[in-house]
């Protein structure tokens, strides 16, 4: 019954590796997002997709590449991981309308060593 | 720069007391939203207040919005230990075309601790 799910919940990896985080929502929403939350709890949007189309692409290193195979899935692939990529990554979804509330996944805690 | 900034950064109260958190923002908004984040969990939407509303209630939550001061407040009445969490305000940001596409800008949140 989980609305927005992410896998894995924890990810520990070494610098230079490539990793992916998966996100799925079963709410029938047409818009999905990736956020990064740093150690100070500051939450910043990275990407947004609407109906599989990229609509928000913040200033994020191009080592980060989102992929949306369908409306219910939005994956995040990260190449050549760096120490500064350590953070909690949240997926979210909403309907595409002004100010719609967003539903968040449980987060993926990424630790790069 | 952050759109929403919460104040105080941390708040510690006893069960039964009221908790008030404030949020200031910089640009014009058409609505402002409040979210709660329990430790180690994702954010949960609490309440949305539109720019033409001054006050809104939901259970023990009361939100006010003052667009002239670009500020909002969240009041939790009769707090419980289960209210312990971080609270964030967020507002949709418009892009160059004037639409927001759901882009929310969050502040750093207020950490609320309610002692039993």
- Mutation for A interface: B1, B91, B102, most A CBs within 10 A: B102
Share of chain A above pLDDT 90, in %: 73
Closest partner residue to B45 among A50, A102, A107, by Cβ?
A102
Chain B stretch 78-107, residues whose beta carbon is closer than 8 A to a beta carbon of chain A: 86, 88, 92, 99-106
Question: What one-character-per-residue DSSP string does A36-97 give?
Answer: EE-TT--EEEEEEEETTEEEEE-S--TTEEEEEEETTEEEEEE-S--GGG-EEEEEEEE-SS
* CB within 8 Å: A100 and B99: no
B2: confidence class by pLDDT, cuts 50, 70, 90 = very low
Distance CA B43, CA B89 (A): 11
Give pLDDT, residue A73.
95
- pLDDT tens digits for B33-83? 999 999 989 999 999 999 999 999 999 999 999 999 999 999 999 999 999
Cβ-based burial of A73 (10 A; exposed 0-12, middle 13-18, buried ≥19): middle
B39 CB near a chain A CB, below 8 Å?
Answer: no
B54 CB near a chain A CB, below 8 Å?
Answer: no
- Mutation for B interface: A32, A98, A107, most B CBs within 10 A: A98
- pLDDT tens digits for A28-81? 999 999 999 998 888 999 998 888 888 888 878 999 999 999 999 999 999 999
Q: Which residues pair with A67 in a beta bridge?
A: A75
Q: Show Cβ contacts of residue B9 under 8 Å, excluding neighbours closer than 6 positions.
A: B108, B109, B110, B111
Give pLDDT, residue B102.
65
Closest partner residue to B92 among A44, A55, A99, by Cβ?
A99
Q: What is the CA radius of gyration of chain A?
A: 13
Distance CA B45, CA B35 (A): 4
Distance CA A24, CA B63 (A): 31
Q: Which spans in chain B are helix H?
A: none
Give pLDDT, residue A60.
86
Give pLDDT, residue B94.
60
Helices and strands: H and E segment counts in chain B: 0, 11
CB atoms within 10 A of CB B30: 13
Comparing alpha-carbon positions, the chain B residue that sits nearest to A95 is: B102
Instruction: Quote the minimal CA–CA distance from B28 to chain A in Å.
Output: 13
Give pLDDT, residue A92.
95
Q: Nearest to residue A69, comparing CAs of A51, A48, A89?
A: A51
């Amino acid at each position: 019954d989980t609305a927005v799910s992410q896998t894995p919940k924890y990810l520990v990896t070494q610098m230079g590796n490539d990793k992916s985080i998966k996100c799925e929502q079963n709410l029938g929403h047409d818009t999905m997002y990736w956020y990064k939350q740093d150690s100070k709890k500051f939450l910043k949007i990275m990407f947004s997709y609407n109906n599989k189309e990229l609509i928000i692409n913040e200033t994020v290193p191009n080592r980060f590449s989102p992929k949306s195979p369908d409306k219910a899935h939005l994956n995040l692939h990260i190449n050549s991981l760096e120490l500064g990529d350590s953070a909690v990554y949240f997926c979210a979804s909403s309907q595409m309308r002004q100010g719609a509330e967003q539903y968040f996944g449980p987060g993926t805690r990424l630790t790069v060593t | 720069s952050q759109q929403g900034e919460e104040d105080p950064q941390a708040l510690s109260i006893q069960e039964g007391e009221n908790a008030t958190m404030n949020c200031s923002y910089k640009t014009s908004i058409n609505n402002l939203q409040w979210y709660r984040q329990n430790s180690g969990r994702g954010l949960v939407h609490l309440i949305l207040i539109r720019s033409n509303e001054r006050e809104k209630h939901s259970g023990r939550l009361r939100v006010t919005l003052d667009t002239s001061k670009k500020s909002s407040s969240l009041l939790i009445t009769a707090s419980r230990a289960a209210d312990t969490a971080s609270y964030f305000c967020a507002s949709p940001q418009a892009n160059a075309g004037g639409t927001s596409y759901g882009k929310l800008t969050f502040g750093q949140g207020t950490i609320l601790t309610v002692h039993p």
